[in-house]
Amino acid sequence: MRMTNTNATTNATTNADTSTPRAATGEDVGAMSRVLARAFEDDPMMCWFFPEDATRPAALGSYFTTLLTRQYLPYGLCERTEHAAAFWVAPEAQEKAVPDEGTIRELAELLGDRAGWFRQCVDAAAATAPQEAHWYLAVIGADPLAQGRGQGAALLRSGLARADAAGLPVHLESSKAENLAVYRHFGFEVLEEVALPGDGPTLWTMRRAPRG
């Protein structure tokens, strides 16, 4: 799904506490969903999808559980550390990783009266999808309680190394302006600003060229 936001603001630097990324399995779904729910609780798009502060944490946990179990674990590359998680999609898996109708229905139930906007956002983001072969960073986030430990940066570097080894660019979208400088630090450039429907937040699409 080419509309999932990316949140790595708290992990721009690596320090001695950085954990080693490892591949996620089905046993990690609960822990990863909780980490991402905390990471995205203040994300502009997630606040727009789930406007009630009191219910947002639980809704986000269910949202990421659905994405993990139905979409990214089967077709993507999911990695985690103790306090961070990332979902990547390789070029050959991107058609399969697009959410099917069952996934969209499940997410629509979570979103309630925001479901229509969600579908419009999916369409708006899909319209910006690059035609070139690329790796896609769908989601990355770290628990705010683990700020400064570099775990998000470790996950980002892990995926970028795979893309570089394949000689391919990386694309992502973010709805959090504070993250743009973080991604620029890792070599990304803004391609486009997308105004989402329904007075939604701005979505920035970004690209990182492959490095030798």
In Å, how far are 2, 50, 155 from 94, measured between CA atoms? Answer: 10, 27, 20
What pLDDT score does 16 carry? 42
Is 52 a domain residue?
A: yes
Is 89 a domain residue?
A: yes
What pLDDT score does 104 carry? 85
What pLDDT score does 11 carry? 43
What pLDDT score does 5 carry? 52
Domain that holds residue 161: 9-208
- Nearest-CA neighbor of 29 among 1, 57, 71? 71
First and final C-alpha spacing in the chain: 29
Is 3 a domain residue?
A: no
Across the chain, where does the E strand assignment appear? 22-23, 77-80, 84-89, 135-142, 170-174, 188-195, 202-208
What pLDDT score does 200 carry? 85
User: pLDDT averaged over the chain?
Assistant: 88
Distinct helix (H) and strand (E) counts, the chain:
9, 7
Average of per-residue pLDDT across 149-153? 91
CATH number, domain containing residue 140: 3.40.630.30
Is 160 a domain residue?
A: yes
What pLDDT score does 96 carry? 78
* pLDDT greater than 70 at residue 2: no
Is 175 a domain residue?
A: yes
Residue recorded with tokens 């579908």: 119
- Nearest-CA neighbor of 210 among 142, 157, 173, 163? 163
Percentage with pLDDT > 90 across the chain: 68
What pLDDT score does 9 carry? 47
At 166, the pLDDT band (50, 70, 90 cuts) reads very high
In Å, how far are 40, 125, 155, 197 from 142, measured between CA atoms? Answer: 9, 23, 10, 28
Is 2 a domain residue?
A: no
CA distance 181 to 186: 9
Domain count, the chain: 1
Is 111 a domain residue?
A: yes
By three-state DSSP, how is residue 136 classified?
Answer: strand
Q: What is the pLDDT of residues 65-120, one digit of tens each?
A: 999 999 999 999 999 999 999 999 999 998 877 778 888 889 989 999 888 888 88
Is 4 a domain residue?
A: no
